Amino acid sequence: MNVMNYQGYAARVEFDAECEIFFGNIAGISDVVGFHADTVDGLKEAFHKAVDDYIETCRKLGKEPHRSYSGKMMFRVDPEVHARAAKAAELAGKSLNQWAEEILSRAAGETAA
């Protein structure tokens, strides 16, 4: 996966072949903060600077830098997936919400690291 991490922030990196640059946006924040460079070392430097600048700007504005979430997730899945998940939760002795939170937490922890 093309993910960069720095000071608890993450960004997915892509390559624009036409412009011959790497670029990314910081994930998990309310604002859009992008960065780019034409080398890998330059991209790392640009990402670190973008994060540092964002943290400093938020501090100056008295703003919380991380996006807040309600904890409510609504999404649709195939009925067969729903049935298998409900069965797995029941067999684990958990509610579907408890089971899904555990699975999502595990999956999100693997990609965020």
Instruction: Map out the domains of the chain as residue ranges.
Output: 3-61, 79-112
C-alpha torsion angle, residues 40, 26, 14, 41 (rounded to 10)? 0
Average pLDDT on 84-102 reads 94
* pLDDT tens digits along 12-37: 999 999 999 999 999 989 899 999 99
How far is it, in rounded angstroms, from Cα 102 to Cα 32? 29
pLDDT digits (tens, 9 = 90+) for 34-74: 999 999 999 999 999 999 999 999 999 999 888 778 888 89
* pLDDT in the model for residue 110: 64
E strand residue ranges, 18-113: 21-27, 34-37
Rounded to 5°, the CA angle 70-82-109 comes to: 50
Q: Is the pLDDT of residue 113 over 50?
A: no
Does this model's pTM top 0.75? My answer is no
Average pLDDT, the chain: 92
